[in-house]
Structures are given as structure tokens and as C-alpha cells.
Structure 1
Amino acid sequence: MRSSLRPRFLRGSSLKHTVQAPTLHTERLVLRPHRIADAARWYEIQSSPDVLAYTSWPERDAAQSRIHLKERTRHVVLKQANDFLALAIEHDGQLIGDVGLHLRSIVSTSRTAEISWILHPEHYGHGFAAEATSAMMNFAFEQVQIQFLVAVIEAPNAASIVLAERLGFQKMAHDGDSLGFVAGNIR
């Protein structure tokens, strides 16, 4: 995300229409921008060994986790390549995870984004990750007009691999312990 630290005018072209973070409603979930009020629950999620095993995140103490969450509250706009959109996954009023969309290319014919998801381990096995990720995929294809969605998954993360395949992603690459998957916007 180094290039996203540069001023926007140095970062090149922009989407014709800026995309603001939505609030998405599914049958059981609300996907919404993160709030600093979620700090205690966010720390619980991101410090889980199950979550840390499959992310590149360092271990953080509560204060560092709060800073990380505060940064995530600012990821609410997609306008240029390398912009990142982070949405909290909420179930019954409680933060249970995160789904993200990282804009990689804005060229309309090959607009690409990377999608990611994490879920609190106590909510595994209920279909919440599939429900949230599917909603974000629909948003990406319909509102951001993404042509290709990429998911990078650690090879030992069997549950995320199964989820990606169930959502229509195809395995495209294998680099060390990482697998690359892609899903396209077929019209």
C-alpha cells in the first residue's frame, strides 16, 4: 500500500465516479464501515491465533490494534489504484469479521480488485464468511464495475480455499504458500 501514501495527484488516473463505502444488508448480516467503538471486539478478532495464522498482520497489543482499526475507519473510498475499502461484518449488532476490497487497476476493460475476508473463529461454520464475501463480490461487480476479482489465500487455509471455490473463484497461481484465485464478471 506504499503508493497509497502518496498524495492523490501523484497517484495517476482516477475512476470516473468515486465509490463511497456502502452499508450492505444480507439476510443475516450488515456490512458497514468500521467504527472506533468496535475497538475491543476488533482486538479480540485480530489477535486470534486462527486469524493471525492466515494474515500477514503482526501480533498487536490492544493499543496497536486500536490504531489499526482507526486506520481502517478511513478506508471508505475507492477512487484510484491501490485504494482499499474495509467493511465490518456485523451479526446481531456484534462485530464478527471484516471484508476488504483492494482496487488494483482502474482500467475499465480490466478493472481488478483483490478481495479478502476474516471472521472471528467463534462464528466459523455458519456460512457468515460466504454471505459477507458474496455481498462484497456483488458490490464489486455491480457498483465498482470490477472485471476480475483476485483472492490470495495461504495454502494451509483449507476453509478459505473451499469458500473461494464455492463462490466461483478459479485457482490461477501458486507461489510458495500462497494460492491465487480469480473470479470474473461474466456479462
Structure 2
Amino acid sequence: MPGLHRPRLLRGARLPSPVDAPRIDTDRLTLRPHRLNDAAEWFALQSDPRTVKYIDWELRNRDESLKHLRDRTRKTRLWQADDFLALAVEHDGALIGDVSLHLRTVEAEQRSAEVGWVLNPEHSGNGYATEAAAAMVRFALDDLAATTVTAVIDRRNERSVALARRLGFTHYSSTPTHVTLAISRS
């Protein structure tokens, strides 16, 4: 049933210790946990049809957007497979996007995570998505100790595919609708 989750006790292996949401500062951006006072900027991002064109989100009204943001404020710990971490992408004090990690495999020798990114289209073309995604990939490889990081992208989203390739991702697999790219720890 939608909305039901297995208790942590029944979800299997864990990391030796949880990895909590960091604050990551890059040259121009701050990646940090979402806050409820991001609501207006989060709604602006989620109510723009260009934002959801290639991702599995519906356009949201203010109430739906606030509910989604509230959920994201709780996505702050990676510990077991399928845990999800979401960070706000902030530029000059304003929320302009989101980067995320899904912990896919816990075991140290094959630990994997899936990275995702979304940027308010009003801020595209400035390299912010590349900067934020690069920081999240470094976090996954260095702090989470993932051996592999994947990105699952709608194959029509040429800009995101190009972004992943600029970061060093290579083709891993594909379906008729999506391409999966991967980068491994060297």
C-alpha cells in the first residue's frame, strides 16, 4: 500500500554508522538540508512546467508543494538501502534547486548510491547544476564511501546527460525512456 514503509529493523543491513545531511559549501553555492522557510522558492521551482518536463514530478499547487517540502526536510540520513537524502541548493541566500542521493547498496565492497538534481529554470545556464551535482557526487564517493554512483536520466534530457558526462559519468544501461550513467571511485 502506498505510504507504508517497513520498520528500520526489518529493512536489512546498515552502514557501520549513519551518514547525516551535511552542509557543503562550493565556490558559489551552499548545499544544506531543506527548511520550511524555503516554501516560496520551492513552490516557484515546482510550479514551473520546465522544471518537471523530464522528471517524475507533477506540477504542484502551494499546499502540495509545502507537503513535498515538509517531506524533504525529513530526508536527512543515509543508513540503510533505499534511504534518501535531499539537500537544498542555495545561491546568494535563495533556494534555486535540489540535489539528492538514494543509498542503493549498503555493503562496503559494492556500496552504491543514485544521485539526482533539479534546478529552477530561471537559474539554468550558469553552471549551478554542474557545481551542485559535482559536490554531491564527491560527498557520495568520499563521505558515504560509495564505490559507484549512478544517475538515471530521461533520455530526452540532453542537458542532464551532458552534465553527467562532464562529471565523468559513462553509460551503464538504458531502457526505452531512460539512460543510466555511472561513475566509480578510482
TM-score of the aligned structures, taking structure 1 as reference length? 0.96
Q: Which consecutive unaligned segments of at least 5 residues does structure 2 have?
A: none
For the aligned residue pairs, the C-alpha RMSD in angstroms reads 1.2
Aligned to 1:116: 116
Q: Distance in 2 between matches of 1:66 and 1:78?
A: 23
Aligned to 1:92: 92
Task: Provide the identity percentage.
Answer: 45
Any residues of structure 2 matched to 1:50-69 within 5 Å, and which? 50-69=50-69
Equivalent position amino acid for 2:22 in 1: P
Q: Which consecutive unaligned segments of at least 5 residues does structure 1 have?
A: none
Aligned to 2:184: 184
Q: Distance in 2 between matches of 1:96 and 1:105?
A: 29
The answer to whether the 8 Å contact 1:4/1:11 transfers is no
Equivalent position amino acid for 2:81 in 1: A
Q: Distance in 2 between matches of 1:15 and 1:104?
A: 11
Q: Distance in 2 between matches of 1:3 and 1:133?
A: 28
Equivalent position amino acid for 1:30 in 2: T
Aligned to 1:5: 5
Q: Distance in 2 between matches of 1:37 and 1:13?
A: 35
Deviations 1:35-94 (A, max 9, x none): 010111101101211111111112221101100000000000000000000000000000
The answer to whether the 8 Å contact 2:49/2:59 transfers is no
Aligned to 1:42: 42
Deviations 1:74-119 (A, max 9, x none): 0000000000000000000000000000000001011011000000
Secondary structure of the 1:15 match is strand
